[in-house]
Structure 1
Amino acid sequence: IHELGLGDKLAWLESKVGLYHGGTIWSFSTPMDLIRFKPLSMLQRLRVGWWTFVLQKTRNWRKFEDITAKDWLVQHMGAEAYRVIWEPLLRGKFGDYYDKVSMTWIWGKIYLRVASRGKGLQKERLGYPMGSFGEVFDVLGERVSQQGGEVHISAGVNRILVEDNSALGLEVQLPDSEPESRNYDAVIATTPSYIFTRLVSNLPDDYRDKLVNVQYLSAVLLILVMDRPLTDKYWISIADHNLPFVGIIEHTNMIDRSLYGGHHIVYLTNYPSRESELYQKSAEELMDELTPHLRRLNPDFELSWILEYHHHKVDGAQPIIGTNYSQRIPDHRTPIKNLYLANTTQIYPEDRGTNYSVRMGRQVARMVLEDAGEAVD
């Protein structure tokens, strides 16, 4: 972001995290919040706190690869802590795959988030570009154009052109245009793995197997524009099977609402499969199903607080991270010369995140330059 000249707009802000359980929103940002979490006995709270501390101090993620999160958490933090805290969160994030997820995923959530805290018992701090990510993308596009590149929005890619096991370019279809072939020195695909297999047909079986055997969940978001706050928390994880969403992100409890016309912005999040009933619902149907439950978080809530709403669906949003996942990650360099793959299945042991995507982009760009015989700083 500093390279784009937007470093002065990056703010590090304290987040207020909560956990909804048993009809109550519990603060869940610091060790002291855990001590106050009454749904667990004091002994159980101390047990969860100790093993969370151990995870924070454990650098070697590989020791967690061959055990599921369910098994490790039950063994170390106890069955009751797993039932109250962890199982609802895993179910919400991974659906029917909740008991297949590797403990490495939980390790990443705990160990890597500590880096955003200061010393002692300080709360988590998150970085956000105050001009929005939209400004970051716009400026990045301008820089690409200034250096002779082209950025095409809403352009279709029908297939990757391959000859003699070497990528030659793309068959593309720009808006209101016929398909055309374009030659390129190298191709970097950032699509989900199952899309990538449709774009190139002659991948070797061993590489293709790593792509087709990845399971994904989609993201379904309902974004509410409101005239007042819903809660006082930025992020609330839902540990309750009876609520039809897994998280509430109240964006304007971290970012000043004056940047959004004085309105309050609330995200209701879900990670369903594409075959699920929730995924198939329209925006209006989601509003009817989800919003009545908001009164459980704020008994004063009224539909009249909502000024407008927006519905978004993203396929291939969350890959399922199973045990021994590192053995199934496809290489960035595909078996086809000059063809590279960079997607969320290759971010590991970390979970998806903008900073990790930027890191991966740099790694793959370096590979392209090295393979082309270019000097790399």
Structure 2
Amino acid sequence: MKPNPPPTQQNPDSVPPSPSEDKVPPFPSEDKVPPFQRGARGDKPLSWGIVGGGILGMTLAQRLIQAGQRVTLIESAPQLGGLASAWQLDDLIWDRHYHVTLLSDSHLRGLLRELGLEDQMRWVETKTGVYANGQLYSVSNALEFLLFPPLNLIDKIRLAVTILYASRIQNWRKLEQISVVDWLRRWSGDRTLKKFWLPLLRSKLGDNYPKASAAFIWAIIARLYAARRTGLKKEMFGYLPGGYARLLEQFSKALTAQGVKINLGQPVQRVQAAPSGTEITFRDGSSQIFDQVIITAAAPLAAQLCPQLTETEIHRLHSIQYQGIICASLLLRRPLATYYVTNITDDGIPFTGVIEMTTLVKPEEFGGRTLVYLPKYVPVEDTAFQLTDEELKAQFMTALLKMYPHLHPDDLLSFQVSRVKYVLPISTLNYSRNLPPMTTSIPGIHIVNSAHILNGTLNINETIQLAERAIKEILSPQPTQL
């Protein structure tokens, strides 16, 4: 693995230009896509419709335009961004879900460079906490890790060996053949599995954790370990002033400048092959013909959009199991602690972690207030999706006040909830063998979504990498089948 370049040096107190002042640079990365594929009608480039305007769809559009194609980006929401979109809390506009950039996120940093934003990134050393046995503990360096009370010395040694070993594994496909529970028990032991790993697995996968393969935990360890500068010591995380709203605005401007047509507020009803090409039918009854269509919706939703798929394809798409997320955004008068991430091992807490953005982002970005995310990962069919914002607020605030006794109910300024049912595809046993290929049996229709992230976790960097890999495969004379 090549070492990552150091972060760009800059004056940490400098104020970056506002989004409206940012210049939109051209996209220079021609090496990221193959020479464009000519259409069946001579030298005319193909027309492409991309269903879904999240980071994945936007990056697909970018790389297709670079390959000389004609692209229309179609999004059902009134704005681009998908899971990376922003919303308003009180008078603050910031990300709807929490995101962070690691020094090792080369694909995301490459996109930021193309958009002229990488030199405005701010890099911060962060701390990690654990809430265990009703107390907060810091596990931000090797010494604190050794002093962590819930585990004895032997447990900690085995845990460290597990993390170190996983970080050095290259052939992740072998890990798809063993369950994550069995693999962690083998390397960390029963006590560490029970006290440390199982609460973390439940925090991401809920009751579905026994179904996951060891490749799931390997991907998480590999990404976070890459963020450490030396062994299990310090973490350097980055953020863009203005949040992802800043990136999305620049990205949208750049796509438009390159000739991508962006259609917002257009829910898609159906995608099918037609005599004159590939037809997208919208919910309002209108339709549009393209030479090729890429659908970025989650696998079960993509199956519903394509009635012409074979029974085998539909079965494989519906067989992909997802976790959903209920994520509360809180704006507080005062900070909670000094940890960017606080992992929770105790039972009875209704959320699965605490993300305190103000430990990463300068408080001035939030008007001196504290922004906190409380995620709760749940199965798609979980009844928690039916709870109202007020019901979730009552549950979450009761637990938060218990965890942080210095917090007062009056410190809460804003509380909003985001609910998304299809967020995280679960890496089950033999996952890559059962995954449908990106190019379907229907001529002109491709399905590319987060389920195709085979050796990583769901994050912006992996999403961009997936888009770049997908375009190379789809535009090649014989697209690679997974």
TM range (shorter): over 0.9
Is structure 2 residue 226 aligned with structure 1 residue 115? yes
Tell me, in whole angstroms, the C-alpha distance in 1 between the residues paired with 2:246 and 2:264.
15
Question: Alignment identity in percent?
Answer: 29
Whether the aligned pair in 1 keeps the contact of 2:272 and 2:307 (CA below 8 Å) is no
Deviation at 1:167, TM superposition (A): 5.6
Tell me, in whole angstroms, the C-alpha distance in 2 between the residues paired with 1:10 and 1:169.
41
Match of 2:373 among 260, 267, 286: 267
Whether the aligned pair in 1 keeps the contact of 2:225 and 2:232 (CA below 8 Å) is no
Aligned match of 1:171? 281
Whether the aligned pair in 1 keeps the contact of 2:205 and 2:379 (CA below 8 Å) is no
Amino acid at match of 1:217: Q
1:314-344 deviation digits (Å, cap 9, x = unpaired): 1201122211111112212222222221111
Structure 2 spans left out of the alignment, 5+ residues: 1-111
1:317-356 correspondence to structure 2 within 5 Å: 317-356=423-462
SS in structure 1 at match of 2:250: helix
Identify which range, 344-353 or 21-30, moves more after superposition: 21-30
Identify which range, 73-82 or 27-36, moves more after superposition: 27-36
Amino acid at match of 1:267: Y
Deviation at 1:163, TM superposition (A): 2.9
Is structure 2 residue 469 aligned with structure 1 residue 359? no
1:14-39 deviation digits (Å, cap 9, x = unpaired): 22111211112222333333211111
1:70-94 deviation digits (Å, cap 9, x = unpaired): 1111122111111111111112211
SS in structure 2 at match of 1:107: helix
Tell me, in whole angstroms, the C-alpha distance in 2 between the residues paired with 1:372 and 1:152.
30
Tell me, in whole angstroms, the C-alpha distance in 2 between the residues paired with 1:58 and 1:33.
26
Whether the aligned pair in 2 keeps the contact of 1:56 and 1:111 (CA below 8 Å) is yes
Match of 1:51 among 147, 159, 162: 162
Deviation at 1:195, TM superposition (A): 0.5
Tell me, in whole angstroms, the C-alpha distance in 2 between the residues paired with 1:225 and 1:256.
14
Amino acid at match of 1:254: L
Whether the aligned pair in 1 keeps the contact of 2:322 and 2:422 (CA below 8 Å) is yes
Aligned match of 1:137? 248
SS in structure 1 at match of 2:263: coil
Tell me, in whole angstroms, the C-alpha distance in 1 between the residues paired with 2:141 and 2:214.
22
SS in structure 2 at match of 1:272: strand
Match of 2:208 among 94, 97, 114: 97
Aligned match of 1:76? 187
Aligned match of 1:65? 176
1:129-278 correspondence to structure 2 within 5 Å: 129-163=240-274, 168-173=278-283, 178-278=284-384
Tell me, in whole angstroms, the C-alpha distance in 1 between the residues paired with 2:215 and 2:371.
32
Tell me, in whole angstroms, the C-alpha distance in 1 between the residues paired with 2:429 and 2:130.
27
1:150-185 deviation digits (Å, cap 9, x = unpaired): 212222111113136x96131125xxxx42111122
Match of 1:4 among 109, 115, 131: 115
Q: Normalized against structure 1, the TM-score is what?
A: 0.92
Tell me, in whole angstroms, the C-alpha distance in 1 between the residues paired with 2:113 and 2:441.
35
Deviation at 1:244, TM superposition (A): 0.8
Task: Name the CA shift for 1:134/1:167 in 2 (closer, same or farther; >3 Å).
Answer: farther
1:267-306 correspondence to structure 2 within 5 Å: 267-306=373-412
Amino acid at match of 1:257: P
Task: Name the CA shift for 1:59/1:262 in 2 (closer, same or farther; >3 Å).
Answer: same
Tell me, in whole angstroms, the C-alpha distance in 2 between the residues paired with 1:107 and 1:167.
42
Deviation at 1:223, TM superposition (A): 0.7
Whether the aligned pair in 1 keeps the contact of 2:272 and 2:308 (CA below 8 Å) is no
Tell me, in whole angstroms, the C-alpha distance in 2 between the residues paired with 1:169 and 1:131.
38
Structure 1 spans left out of the alignment, 5+ residues: none
Amino acid at match of 2:213: S
Aligned match of 1:21? 132
Tell me, in whole angstroms, the C-alpha distance in 2 between the residues paired with 1:311 and 1:148.
35
